Amino acid sequence: MSSPESENKQYRWWKIILKPIRILYWRILKYNQDRPHLSRHFFKPIHVINEIRLLRRIIKEYYVDCVFDVGANTGQYAKMLRKDVGFKGIIISFEPNPEAFIELKRKATTDPLWIVENIALSDRDGELTFNVMHGDQFSSLHNPSDEKTKLFSRSNIIARTVPVVARTLKSILPHLQATYKFTRPFLKMDTQGHDAAVVRGCGEQLSVFIGLQSELSIIKIYEGTLDYIETIKFYESLGYNLSAFLANNRGHFPTLIETDCLMLRRDLLKAS
- pLDDT per residue over 229-264, tens digit each? 999 999 999 999 999 998 776 666 778 888 999 999
For Cα atoms 37, 39, 40, give the angle at the middle one, nearest 5 degrees: 105
- Mean pLDDT (the chain) is 87
pLDDT in tens, 114-123: 999 999 999 9
Mean pLDDT lowest for which of 4-13, 115-124, 184-193?
A: 4-13
Q: Which residue has the higher pLDDT, 32 or 156?
A: 156
Q: Which of the four pLDDT bands, split at 50, 70 and 90, describes residue 66? A: very high
Q: How many residues are present in the chain?
A: 272
Was domain 44-271 assigned CATH 3.40.50.150?
A: yes
- For the entire predicted model, the pTM comes to 0.83
* Beta strands at 258-265 and 240-246: parallel, antiparallel or unpaired: antiparallel
pLDDT in tens, 132-149: 999 888 999 999 987 767
**C-alpha to C-alpha distance for 268 and 156, rounded to whole angstroms:** 38
Helices (H), the chain: 4-34, 46-61, 76-80, 98-108, 169-180, 195-200, 228-237, 266-271
Q: Which residue has the higher pLDDT, 242 or 18?
A: 242
pLDDT the model gives residue 6: 55
